[in-house]
Structure 1
């Protein structure tokens, strides 16, 4: 378990450190060079537009990471109260009002929803985070509701009701703590899916300018020169993979540790 934790921390740590601290060391842009060159005073060569690939790598991770984290947090901020209310309410009509619209959203593929909205609006990074959060809310709310419904059926919750405890005490104090492990497992998988959606949307030009310093945009912008200048595609692609794979390993190791303690 320790080795898996260390491996996950290393795999996710490299791209995370580059994403958060990279812009501090990127420096000022130098003069444009010829496109798709190797060497020439540039650590990883130049990209399609003649920009230094290493500098673009240092600058390109922060948008991906911040948008993904913001989208995941926003999704849970809405999904948690919806799932808890649905699980703890004794009014069937309220559960129907809360959950049925989410089922409609769940039936539409996530990427299709993002592309449809983006065809009408032109979202920036904040808009992209809201869009990705929106398509993740239905599934997250259903998982919260399913886990909370099991906890809400326990005798302890009935005892709290009979004692006249507040809804907040039951929902957050008992049920919320009971579903913590389930939420932690879901958060690892969901963050991976969110990173995939954010990177795919950026790859397709949704929410990100075509010339932006962004890892996903770098892959799209430089793919035509993959066999001429592979670093401009391979390095950002590996960093995105490292974020998703390392995050899953890290969450799995943390869950194993909690299960054994």
Structure 2
């Protein structure tokens, strides 16, 4: 614990604990939700729009479902959404950036002009347009956001490769006749891992927010599956009289997004400190 605090600092350590807690909640949702059936979507109209109480700690929604149980079940969807968005973005952007930075020339020019096309549009607007074209749904929302995010990973990977490709060990491998794919995979790719990991940690929070925004607009996960953004949208019709309906999932989004942001900042600061120490 002491070593972890030394590496990440107290804010980063607390943020990591919050992130781990959320993942634990997602895994254990069926066992820790007060009303698992309601968390999965079963209605309970007799208790609809009940305020927070001993029976329903965070109140109920318009179908009488326990909001705490819904938030717990939505954690599975929302975290998976954010992680998959970042993973898909890396799968697209990393190879593009590696190829552009390593080979240079017309390959670099063509690939970077392609990324510029995507960067020319506001990311959220492009995600909304893509989601509208693909239709609502979990996988479609992931694809829609990932398509708008991969250029940033491509540019970051390219910037790292431009520095690494001139290193003596890379030049030695090239002179020894090692193939280009092997040089990229064995010598360049591992060295790009830390900055990309930091950026990925920073991006999970915004990815969650973007996915929640799509659900809020009706372009994400469909009912009765629980989703934080969808819950905020549904509760908006009853706000402010039934404030808990929107406020509770909204607060959940804020907490997890903040935790990922603080954790990413801690990882970035640690990287900077390591770089200064080795200089």
> How much does 1:200 deviate?
0.9
> How much does 1:40 deviate?
7.4
Instruction: Provide Cα deviations, 1:181-230, integer angstroms capped at 9, x if missing partner.
Output: 21122112222221121111111111222554111111111124343333
Distance 1:249 1:175, change over 3 A: same
Q: 1:112 aligns with which of 125, 128, 136?
A: 125
2:242 and 2:21 mapped to 1: Cα distance? 22
1:197 and 1:118 mapped to 2: Cα distance? 11
Q: 1:19 aligns with which of 23, 26, 37?
A: 26
Q: 1:56 aligns with which of 60, 67, 70?
A: 70
1:76 aligns with 90
2:5 aligns with none
1:68 and 1:84 mapped to 2: Cα distance? 24
2:72 and 2:65 mapped to 1: Cα distance? 12
| Residue 8 (str. 1) matches residue 15 (str. 2) | yes
Q: 2:228 aligns with which of 194, 202, 215?
A: 215
1:237 and 1:16 mapped to 2: Cα distance? 18
2:69 and 2:111 mapped to 1: Cα distance? 47
Tell whether the 8 Å contact from 1:11 to 1:245 is kept in structure 2 after alignment: no
> How much does 1:36 deviate?
2.4
1:61 and 1:160 mapped to 2: Cα distance? 46
Q: 2:101 aligns with which of 65, 87, 94?
A: 87
User: Alignment partner of 1:33: what SS?
Assistant: helix
> How much does 1:256 deviate?
4.4
Divergent runs of 4+, >6 A: none
Q: Which runs of 5+ in 2 are unaligned?
A: 1-7
Tell whether the 8 Å contact from 2:131 to 2:144 is kept in structure 1 after alignment: no
Q: 1:147 aligns with which of 160, 165, 168?
A: 160
Normalising by structure 2, we get a TM-score of 0.84
Distance 1:28 1:211, change over 3 A: closer
2:165 and 2:12 mapped to 1: Cα distance? 33
> How much does 1:149 deviate?
0.9
Deviates more, 1:18-27 or 1:102-111: 18-27
> How much does 1:72 deviate?
0.9
1:96 aligns with 109
Distance 1:155 1:28, change over 3 A: same
Q: Which has the higher contact order (CA 8 A, sep 6+)?
A: 1
> How much does 1:255 deviate?
4.5
2:30 and 2:219 mapped to 1: Cα distance? 22
Q: 2:138 aligns with which of 111, 125, 138?
A: 125
1:40 and 1:226 mapped to 2: Cα distance? 22
